[in-house]
Amino acid sequence: MNRIEAMQIYVSVAELASFTQTANTMGLPKASISTAVQQLESELGTRLLHRTTRRVQMTQDGQVFYERCKDLLADFEELQNLFRSSETALQGRLRVDMPSGVAKDVVLPRLPEFLQAHPAMNIELSSTDRRVDLIREGFDCVLRVGALGDSNLIARPLGYYRMINCASPGYVTQFGLPQHPDELAGHRLIHYVMTLGARDSGFEYQDADDAGTVKTVAMNGALTVNNSDAYYGACLAGLGIIQVPEAGVRAALDSGQLVELMPNYRAAPMPVSLVYANRRHQPRRVQVFMNWLDAIMKPRLIIAPAR
């Protein structure tokens, strides 16, 4: 029995939690199923399954191996179809991460149409504001907003988010409507950090009178958050000023829930990128999904960072 067949057997046993059901499903003797799993464990040097008289359960190593098998088998299936018609249905698992606001406002409302076009795809969507480890956590691609650090990953720029300063009408009534960063001394900023305990740099803006130089004003604030939903909710509650992508608050501005402040003193546009591992041949399912993400994000982005 070759390695691919053994991996297919293991995935089936892991999903059905049964050697007997796998044997029945695949039309193989139960002994062949057991032997295939034992050979994999011997070659890998670790136990993949806990076996009792009543149940079969993956070990921690078995769970990791299962996830990798799913990806490798999907890649193998795609390799077999590499030179066939480009209309061949996409299939397999795709794991992607993106900020929660992008997932909620942009991707999830449009995802039904993607899955309708590719019904054999299985998408695992992580939406968090933390920077995930793409390689270690097994993501096919991630959508990142903000500057990218140095890495061995490949970045595909999509454009830039235009930034905006805003506050609630209640906040403006209480603290006033500043016209210039010099007037921020008596105001409050809602601080946003990736990790609680860290310090943000304060109110940032591009100075049009100084060749667009980015400047910072240190500001007080009673609240620090590490989540974009909390950041937005705190602003609606009147707790302070926030600096966010305009696309994410446009509806609230149009409805009067939020008010724009100092439109001539905005933070520098924020880059938006797709990031993925440096692989010689990216699976077609990943390429297609990234192209789709690019297309649905474009209307919300500006092409150049100029103000």
- Domains of the chain, first to last: 3-80 (1.10.10.10), 92-157+276-300 (3.40.190.10), 163-261 (3.40.190.10)
> Over the chain, what HEC string results?
CCHHHHHHHHHHHHHHCCHHHHHHHHCCCHHHHHHHHHHHHHHHCCCCEEECCCCEEECHHHHHHHHHHHHHHHHHHHHHCCCCCCCCCCCEEEEEEECHHHHHHHHHHHHHHHHHHCCCEEEEEEECCCCCCCCCCCCCEEEEECCCCCCCCEEEEEEEECEEEEECHHHHHHHCCCCCHHHHHHCEECEECCCECECCCCEEEEEHHHCCEEEEECCECCCEECCHHHHHHHHHCCCCEEEEEHHHHHHHHHHCCCEEECCCCCCCCEEEEEEECCCCCCCHHHHHHHHHHHHHHHHHCECCCCC
The pTM for the full model equals: 0.70
**Per-residue confidence at 95, pLDDT binned at 50, 70, 90?**
confident
Q: pLDDT by residue (tens digit) across 133-156?
A: 887 777 889 999 988 876 778 899
Give CA–CA dist 92/162, Å, rounded: 35
Beta-bridge mates of residue 263: none
Give CA–CA dist 123/92, Å, rounded: 8
**Per-residue confidence at 182, pLDDT binned at 50, 70, 90?**
very high
Sign of CA dihedral 292, 297, 302, 304: negative
Q: pLDDT by residue (tens digit) across 212-243?
A: 788 999 998 889 998 888 999 999 999 999 99
